């Protein structure tokens, strides 16, 4: 039998506060990206390439998942980043049908500078939001409680 979740005022306050701080961080991030001449999506692409677990490249499909975007949209984004000499496509080493997206030196420089510029706001977000107790976001009570 499914239990119906009930939310009280503090649940909504906590979620609202979290979303507010998250949006402030994202707006600040957008400003930083634009100062460095990139769009937020271009930066996110570079960030996901630089931060991809276990290797220094990713496929378009993997990037689409990380960006929560459509495959064809990521192809267009990679095209734009290639034109800026930030990334390059390479044929897969293990699977020749696969295309790997790699950061170029300029891409590494850009993502490093932008990530460094994010650090003060990231620390502020960690100190002033629910991140220390994110588990509380899912601690809803049921009608039986």
Residues ≥6 apart with Cβ < 8 Å to 81:
42, 45, 46, 87, 107
For residue 134, the model assigns a pLDDT of 40
For residue 21, the model assigns a pLDDT of 86
pTM, rounded to two decimals:
0.81
For residue 37, the model assigns a pLDDT of 97
Contact between 48 and 61 (Cβ < 8 Å): no
Mean pLDDT by runs of 10 across the 145 residues of the chain is 80 88 92 97 98 95 97 97 98 86 98 95 76 43 41
For residue 132, the model assigns a pLDDT of 52
For residue 14, the model assigns a pLDDT of 86
Q: Which CATH architecture has domain 7-133?
A: Orthogonal Bundle (1.10)
Q: Burial, 47: exposed, middle or buried (Cβ in 10 Å; 0-12, 13-18, 19+)?
A: middle
């Amino acid at each position: 039998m499914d239990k119906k979740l009930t939310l009280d005022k503090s649940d909504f306050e906590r979620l609202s506060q979290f979303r507010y701080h998250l949006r402030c961080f994202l707006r600040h991030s957008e400003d930083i990206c634009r100062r460095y001449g990139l769009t937020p999506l271009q930066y996110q692409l570079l960030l996901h390439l630089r931060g991809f677990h276990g290797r220094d490249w990713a496929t378009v499909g993997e990037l689409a998942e990380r960006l929560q975007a459509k495959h064809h949209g990521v192809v267009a984004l990679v095209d734009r980043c290639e034109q800026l000499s930030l990334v390059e496509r390479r044929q897969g080493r293990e699977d020749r049908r696969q295309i790997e997206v790699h950061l170029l030196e300029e891409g590494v420089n850009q993502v490093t500078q932008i990530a460094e510029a994010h650090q003060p706001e990231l620390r502020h977000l960690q100190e002033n939001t629910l991140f220390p107790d994110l588990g509380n976001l899912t601690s809803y009570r049921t009608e039986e409680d």
